Amino acid sequence: MTRVVVIGAGVGGLGAATRLAGAGCDVTVVEASDGIGGKLNTEVLDGHTFDTGPSLMTMPFTLADTLAAADVRLEDVLELLPVEPICRYRWHDGSQLETWTDEERTAAEFERFERGAGEEWRELLAQGQRTWDMSLPLFLSEPVGSLLDIARRSGRPIDPRVIQAHVTLSQIAERRFRDPRLRQLLERFATYAGADPARAPGTLSVIPYTETAFGAWHPRGGMHRIAEVLRAAIELRGGEVRTGARAERIHVEDGAAVGVELADGTYLAADAVVSNVDASHLYGTLLDAPKQARQVAEAPQSVSGFVLMLAMRGRTPDLAHHNIWFPRDYRAEFADVFDDPQPAHDPAVYLCNPAATDPSCAPPGDESWFVLVNAPRHGPVDWEAAGERYQEHILDRLDALGLDARGRLKAVLRRTPADLERLTGAPGGAIYGTASMGPRAAFLRPRNESPAARRLYLATGSAHPGGGVPLVLLSGKIAAELVLRDCG
């Protein structure tokens, strides 16, 4: 029986472990913290339940496929509630627009803002579908390669107009829309990959297509349920998940990973090791791999986030599940986050109000708000010092938006980029590892098959194909398939 040690119980580690346990491997997951899920975690405050990280679930088939590999049916273990509208966007001038899985309904919303914008939306989605149909089987589900590898897999040359990496997301927004509000809306999707839209490849314009085609979902009970059902599937297939078990060192013999040493001195022998920790931690601490550590350190890091979890009294009229308020000057926000790191004065505010879909996350009649703004990483900004002041600033912003946050606030929990770093090991609290910036960024992410040691594989949002729950699950799929190819 192939023995596999998985380091980290984030979505990527749990996803890979589910597939490997399902394939009959002897799987042990070791997790440094006391809980599972990594960035996808949960907090309870005054009877209010909060997801601490991801709040939007897209592409649920990635989870269904992962569970199916362990003979578990998604619908038997998790109730996915559809979220409509997908998101409600608002601007300073009082205007608002909603996106829906119904393409025509969203197109009509765009048309209200600008004549012809509805048709541009339809074309954007059609273009997104072409990009998606090519990239899912040939790039996102396979170990990272070059454009040439993709062409080889597809059997024909790749048309760069399908990938759209030669233009930036901002350029696509400018070409499609004249109205600055619609441009902002499209540019926002760069932040799903932790990037600046002025430098992010236009490929990211595929995201509105994936949201429209595959929907926005909320697991009843919260996003953390995803980690729980994965853990249950691993255990059902005989695997083990150990929490409070920090990996200290990966042992390598004759160029191959042979085991993992834990902080308490325990040694776990392995035929293969899957690393779910951030690539910089893997190459800088768990292994001596200076070349790979340098490559990761030199790549641009993704954005971090400043989070407030607010236990709110009462219900808010006109609050959707996902809400965005755009700033007057979006460029200034990205300059604050990436160029001259400082807490943004007027950031886009994202507010997730899951009680709109799932009342179980708050006491009857109340709400649990998850408020997230883009933030520079800890390091360039000292978030230990800046956190409290910025919390007051964001509460002021919420009040200025007419939400009466302070008046109804029962309790608050804050997560700064420094907290994210401490709690999940993400350097500086970078949410998505290295940022997807520049035309070749997608090809330069750390590989799932480690070049530093044989039989060592990466299943993490900091490696290929990238961050966000669905892509991290694909990272777990690729890593598991590589293990089975080499050791199965």
Ligand X SMILES: Cc1cc2nc3c(=O)[nH]c(=O)nc-3n(C[C@H](O)[C@H](O)[C@H](O)COP(=O)(O)OP(=O)(O)OC[C@H]3O[C@@H](n4cnc5c(N)ncnc54)[C@H](O)[C@@H]3O)c2cc1C
* Residue written as token pair 């703004």: 373
C-alpha span between 336 and 105 (Å, rounded)? 35
Query: For residues 339-398, which are near ligand X according to CB under 6 A?
Result: 372
- In sequence order, the β-bridge partners of residue 381 are 378
Residue 462, Cα to own-chain centre: how many angstroms?
A: 10
Stretch that binds ligand X, among 36-44, 356-364, 398-406, 435-443 (CB under 6 A): 36-44
Q: x/- site string to ligand X, residues 91 to 130, per CB under 6 A? A: ----------------------------------------
Q: Which is nearer to ligand X, 39 or 88 (CB)?
A: 39
The candidate with the shortest Cα–Cα distance to 191, out of 390, 416, 432, 460, is 432
| Gyration radius from the chain CA atoms | 22
**Helix, strand or coil for residue 140?**
helix
Q: H/E element holding 248?
A: strand 247-253
- Among the listed residues 4, 5, 6, 13, the single contact to ligand X using CB under 6 A: 13
Stretch that binds ligand X, among 2-10, 66-74, 435-443, 445-453 (CB under 6 A): 2-10
C-alpha span between 308 and 108 (Å, rounded)? 34
Q: How many chain residues touch ligand X (CB under 6 A)?
A: 38
The candidate with the shortest Cα–Cα distance to 299, out of 416, 207, 401, 427, is 427
- Among the listed residues 4, 5, 6, 12, the single contact to ligand X using CB under 6 A: 12
What tokens does 132 get?
Answer: 């998606």
Stretch that binds ligand X, among 203-211, 359-367, 391-399, 419-427 (CB under 6 A): 419-427
Binding to ligand X by residue 60, rule CB under 6 A? no
> Phi, psi at residue 153, to the nearest 5°?
-65, -40
What tokens does 33 get?
Answer: 């913290």
Q: x/- site string to ligand X, residues 143 to 182, per CB under 6 A? A: ----------------------------------------
CB 181 within 8 A of CB 153: no
Q: Which is nearer to ligand X, 231 or 455 (CB)?
A: 231
Torsion angle (degrees, nearest 10) of CA 68, 18, 136, 149: -130
Binding to ligand X by residue 243, rule CB under 6 A? no
Query: For residues 195-224, which are near ligand X according to CB under 6 A?
Result: none
C-alpha span between 148 and 139 (Å, rounded)? 11
CB of 268 to ligand X, least distance (A): 12
Query: For residues 267-326, which are near ligand X according to CB under 6 A?
Result: 276-277, 281, 305, 307
- Among the listed residues 39, 181, 397, 455, the single contact to ligand X using CB under 6 A: 39
Binding to ligand X by residue 425, rule CB under 6 A? yes
Binding to ligand X by residue 11, rule CB under 6 A? yes
- Among the listed residues 69, 311, 403, 472, the single contact to ligand X using CB under 6 A: 472
CB 325 within 8 A of CB 90: yes
Stretch that binds ligand X, among 110-118, 127-135, 391-399, 417-425 (CB under 6 A): 417-425
Residue 390 per-residue DSSP state: H
Q: Which is nearer to ligand X, 22 or 118 (CB)?
A: 22
C-alpha span between 403 and 442 (Å, rounded)? 39
CB 36 within 8 A of CB 241: yes
Binding to ligand X by residue 461, rule CB under 6 A? yes
Binding site for ligand X (CB under 6 A): 7-13, 30-33, 38-40, 53-56, 246-247, 276-277, 281, 305, 307, 372, 420, 424-426, 431-432, 460-461, 467-469, 472
